[in-house]
Structure 1
Amino acid sequence: MNLFQLKNSLTTVGAELKRVEEEIAATAADPKIDIKNLENLETQKINLKKRFDILKDQHDSLEKEQQEEIKARASQNGSNQVKGMSSPDPKQRKIAAKAELYRATMRGREVSQEAIAQLGGVKGFLGDNSESGGEKLLPTTMTSELLHEPFVKNPLRGHSTFTNEINLEVPKISFQLDDDGFIADGDTAKELSSSGDVVKFGRHKFKIFAPLSETVLRGSDTNLVQTVDQALESGLAAKERKVAFTTEPKTGEEHMSFYKAGLKEVPGATKLAAIKAAIADLHEDFRNNAKVAITYADYMEILEALANGNASFYNAQPEQILGKPAIFCDSAVQPIVGDFTYSHFNYDLPVTYERDKNVRTGIEDFVLTAYIDHQIKLKSAFRIAKVVTPTP
């Protein structure tokens, strides 16, 4: 148990002990109640008192150990964390504050108000989790950095829409005219008629684990922060890419996958022919802003077939080869053609953090919990380019 859990257990057992003592007093004062009831209560009191004393010894011992650890660290490094948060450099103050949050979380200590303030503050705590000691909200500036800064490892960043709103609802199209028949694309009109003109985002919970060794925890603030931040950023990017391109989504997450959401497939004898046919099949409103999500291997295969020994083809831009800009993603097992502004990721509810011990390795994890949904706002804005071998 960490210190937080021990405090909770002490409170619970202490309250029960007090209740039994009050019941003993009431029972003893009532001569009508059988003496055996009083004896049973006395036995309960003895057992509870033993439990309380054991928990209190563990609590006091752990609290003393942590206080000594804090003092020892402060004397060894000259209170580097305090110095870091009082640095005139805002970047160094933020690094020091992040490092304190990570260390405090992993050791079951409270995070100082100074560190929380440096990170933008939080609005409060989410519920209570007896297993983790309570899930805390991630400070606001950290949430913003993790969710909204572009990550190289997620190729859809910078192309799809990303938001962090609770109970988000958005219109499928960004404008309307007073003429009900203004939608020229028949597929879009049918889609709006069958599924409505508003998209409602749901909540799909997932966790990211950043393993931390004692060496990293005791190391420099900069190394600790880089280690955790990179793990969390990579985890978020990997989750976004996985839900969007998986061919085997979890139950209830089918709508998040381009391949399982019911997008129209456009056939072609080759990948390039299928891609060009898919581009042509889009309505011009979507075609003007269309891009092609494709694996780099597929693109090179197309390039080699076109080049046929002509090295000049390798200097051409993907847009010149495919007809539209390319988004290279190894998860795009079949090319996706469309206007990716209609691909919308939303993170619902505040991001939370806690710690968890990996019993297999003995290394503890800094754990981030988030809630994601990916909505393809208009299916008619996308096509899947599918290679179909002609029938002989």
Structure 2
Amino acid sequence: MNWFKPPVKSLLKLDLQHFGGSTLFELKQNMATLGQQLQKYEGELSQKAIDPSATLEDIKALQKSKEDIKARFDVIKEQHDVLEAEQKASFEDKSNIQNIADPKAKIVTAKAELIRATIRNQAVPKDVMAVLGDRNSTGGEKLLPTTMSEELLMEPLVKNPLRDISTYTNLRNLEIPKISFTLDDDDFIADTETAKELKVTGDVVKFTRNKFKVFAPVSETVLRGSNVNLVQSVDRALESGLAAKEKKVAFTKTPKTGEEHMSFYQTGETAIKTVNGADIYEAIVNALADLHEDYRENAKIVMNYADYTKVVKFLNNGNSTYFAAPPESVWGKTVKFVDAATDPIVGDFAYSHFNYDLDVLYERDKNVRTGIEDFVLTAYVDHQIKLKSAFRIAKVIPAV
């Protein structure tokens, strides 16, 4: 039986902006249609699961189709909820943001008011700051309110795969131990490389502050538009900027002065150990084998997609088995794709830790050449690789 599968291309391009012009009624119709399809797949999946004649491939294919429909349904529902909240808020008294009953609409409206006031160089109303959780009790610096900073800094970002596997915090003057427990016997660490590293570098990680700015351009048209479009436009720009900065410092081979420790590819005495192989597949296999079992158990692989396609082409050897298989089936470990990962990185990414220090600031700036206003975010980030011995760099050294 040929099960319906949503086109992959349309699914990948499906985002909130795609539905920016849809009416609430259209979104409700789309939700109803996808909801019926999802219910249909759930019923068929239940039948397949108890059918002894059904193959595992049939069940997996049906599960994949169900997941695709669910992903599309969730995206449309999110846009529906935001739009519905804004329309409900439009019937409330806008003279006082506290009169907006719906919590989601209240936050969207408050964000929009903060952005507009900042761009127009006006004071942000106190009730707006109260809704967003203002942390600035001194009345001095313009600190980004709690609600906005937590969403920008702490929520997983699709555009930065490290957000799914690394550790993220937002703590001032952070210091943490490199290992989570100790014993009264100093020789309890089975991995000799870890023991040597702790002896040389100490057993505590101290996070530093590295300042950077993200600029979110805002045109007058967007500024005068709906709250939803304004907030989405600024949030997307800031999120993309944060993700780009995180990936840049983590994967660069030419770091800025003072940021050398943030890169997986740092050189010198503190460099991560390199493990060689005749090709990408062999190099990663050797890197996994070289890890101590304490780290190998939770190891993941970060590599660029071009290298992965070379591996798949090599393993296929005339058939298409691995093209249809998930990347995890190749090495038995989770694989994350980052184009900036010029050499695959293998290890326990719980020891990759990003921390945003101090309060995040916001301000405005104007590009005099274009006339576009910028909503500017200033943040302080540090990336610490808490244990270099928890990672390996897989390097291809062709056989002579």
Mark yes or no: TM-score above 0.5: yes
Number of the residue aligned with 2:265: 259
Show CA shifts across 1:264-313 (max 9, x none): 00010000000000000000000000000011111111001110221122
- Is the counterpart of residue 124 in structure 1 residue 130 in structure 2? no
**Judging changes above 3 Å, is the alpha-carbon distance between structure 1 residues 93 and 318 closer, same or farther for their aligned structure 2 residues?**
same
Give 1 or 2 for the bigger CA radius of gyration: 1
Q: Residue 192 of structure 2 aligns to which amino acid in structure 1?
A: G
Moved more, 195-204 or 231-240: 231-240
Number of the residue aligned with 2:244: 238
Number of the residue aligned with 1:97: 110
Unmatched 5+ stretches in structure 2:
1-89
Taking only the aligned residue pairs, the percentage that are identical comes to 64
Alignment of 1:298-317 (within 5 A): 298-317=307-326
**Judging changes above 3 Å, is the alpha-carbon distance between structure 1 residues 299 and 125 closer, same or farther for their aligned structure 2 residues?**
farther
SS at match of 1:305: helix
Q: Work out the CA distance in 1 between the residues paired with 2:369 and 2:124.
A: 28
2:356–2:379 contact (8 Å) kept in structure 1: yes
Number of the residue aligned with 2:86: none
1:125–1:137 contact (8 Å) kept in structure 2: no
Number of the residue aligned with 2:120: 107
Q: CA deviation at 1:125?
A: 5.2
- Is the counterpart of residue 271 in structure 1 residue 276 in structure 2? no
Q: Work out the CA distance in 2 between the residues paired with 1:180 and 1:154.
A: 38
Alignment of 1:159-178 (within 5 A): 159-178=165-184
Q: CA deviation at 1:236?
A: 0.7
- Is the counterpart of residue 363 in structure 1 residue 369 in structure 2? no
Number of the residue aligned with 1:34: none
Number of the residue aligned with 1:319: 328
**RMSD between aligned residues:** 1.6
Q: Residue 359 of structure 1 aligns to which amino acid in structure 2?
A: V
SS at match of 1:360: coil
- Is the counterpart of residue 154 in structure 1 residue 160 in structure 2? yes
- With normalisation by structure 2, the TM-score equals 0.75
SS at match of 2:142: strand
Q: CA deviation at 1:160?
A: 0.2
1:297 to 303, 306, 309: 306
Number of the residue aligned with 2:60: none
- With normalisation by structure 1, the TM-score equals 0.76
Q: Residue 276 of structure 2 aligns to which amino acid in structure 1?
A: P
Alignment of 1:30-69 (within 5 A): none
2:253–2:265 contact (8 Å) kept in structure 1: yes
Q: Residue 211 of structure 1 aligns to which amino acid in structure 2?
A: P
Number of the residue aligned with 1:229: 235
Number of the residue aligned with 1:339: 348
1:268–1:277 contact (8 Å) kept in structure 2: yes
Q: Work out the CA distance in 1 between the residues paired with 2:285 and 2:99.
A: 58
- Is the counterpart of residue 386 in structure 1 residue 399 in structure 2? no
Number of the residue aligned with 1:39: none
Number of the residue aligned with 1:217: 223
Q: Work out the CA distance in 2 between the residues paired with 1:357 and 1:109.
A: 15
Number of the residue aligned with 1:140: 146
Q: Residue 177 of structure 2 aligns to which amino acid in structure 1?
A: P
1:274–1:386 contact (8 Å) kept in structure 2: yes
2:171–2:358 contact (8 Å) kept in structure 1: yes
The total of aligned residue pairs comes to: 308
Q: Work out the CA distance in 2 between the residues paired with 1:323 and 1:159.
A: 16
2:209 to 200, 203, 207: 203
Q: Residue 198 of structure 1 aligns to which amino acid in structure 2?
A: V
Q: CA deviation at 1:85?
A: 5.0
Show CA shifts across 1:45-96 (max 9, x none): xxxxxxxxxxxxxxxxxxxxxxxxxxxxxxxx99974366522211100011
1:125–1:136 contact (8 Å) kept in structure 2: no
SS at match of 2:188: coil
Q: Residue 281 of structure 1 aligns to which amino acid in structure 2?
A: D
Q: CA deviation at 1:169?
A: 0.2
Q: CA deviation at 1:319?
A: 2.0
Q: CA deviation at 1:314?
A: 1.7
